[in-house]
Each structure stands twice: as structure tokens, then as C-alpha cells.
Structure 1
């Protein structure tokens, strides 16, 4: 069962040092959200092969 956002934050806060700043907490929440979105993308099949990424990078580098 997936944890709620509140549970995720509670768990995160439990792992951070007591002297964490608000900026530290915001950064860790940002990273947590990006990881969760990435996991959802993988689960939904929204991924790229190595070949796809290389082709995209070539287009970006040669524009």
C-alpha cells in the first residue's frame, strides 16, 4: 500500500538530523517528489531506451 504524502513527510523528518534547516527539508521533499514521479513514469511505461536518449542528446548538441 502506498504511503500518503503526510506519511512520507513524517518519515522524511524522522530521518533528518535535528538541526536541519527549512531549506534542507525543502530540498529533501523536492528530491522525494522527483523520485516518486520517476517511479510513476516507469510503472506507466514512460521511459526511454539508451538509443532514444543518445538520439535526443545528439539533436540537442547539434542544433
Structure 2
């Protein structure tokens, strides 16, 4: 599985951004919830960095790939 790491992002999460994301979670959140949230945010950051480098896929191309 190719899961991006926080250090692989173009503009890596800072400690403060990580703390902010964790503090926004529900008080009863588990460690698994926290990890899932941070991985999700890392994937978003990676995707945005890809778009900045013009490595994204157009909406029409995505529809074509999914047969829509």
C-alpha cells in the first residue's frame, strides 16, 4: 500500500498543524481515529501538491477512467 507520509508532502505538516488537527477531534477519539485523520489530511496535502505541479487528472479524464 502506498500511503503518503507527512514528510513526503510538498509543504509538510508542522507540529502546530498536527496539534490543531488533533484538538479539533472529539474528546473520545481513539489513537486510530487520530492516525486516520492525519493520514487523510496528508493525502489531501499530497493531492494539492500534485495539482500545483500540474500532475492532476481533469474531471473529464476521471469520468472516462471510471466509465462515466
Q: Do they fold alike, i.e. is TM over 0.5?
A: yes
Structure 1 segment 1-63 matched on structure 2, within 5 A: 4-58=13-67
Structure with a larger share of its residues in helix:
1
Q: Aligned residue for 1:61?
A: none
Runs of 4 or more consecutive aligned structure 1 residues displaced over 4 Å after TM superposition:
none
Cα displacement (A) at 1:7 = 1.8
TM-score of the two chains, using structure 1 as the length reference: 0.70
Given the superposition, is the C-alpha separation of residues 4 and 12 from structure 1 closer, same or farther in structure 2, using an over 3 Å criterion? same
The structure with more radius of gyration? 1
Cα displacement (A) at 1:3 = 6.8
TM-score of the two chains, using structure 2 as the length reference: 0.66
- Structure 1 residue ranges without an equivalent (≥5): 59-63
| SS of equivalent to 1:42 | helix
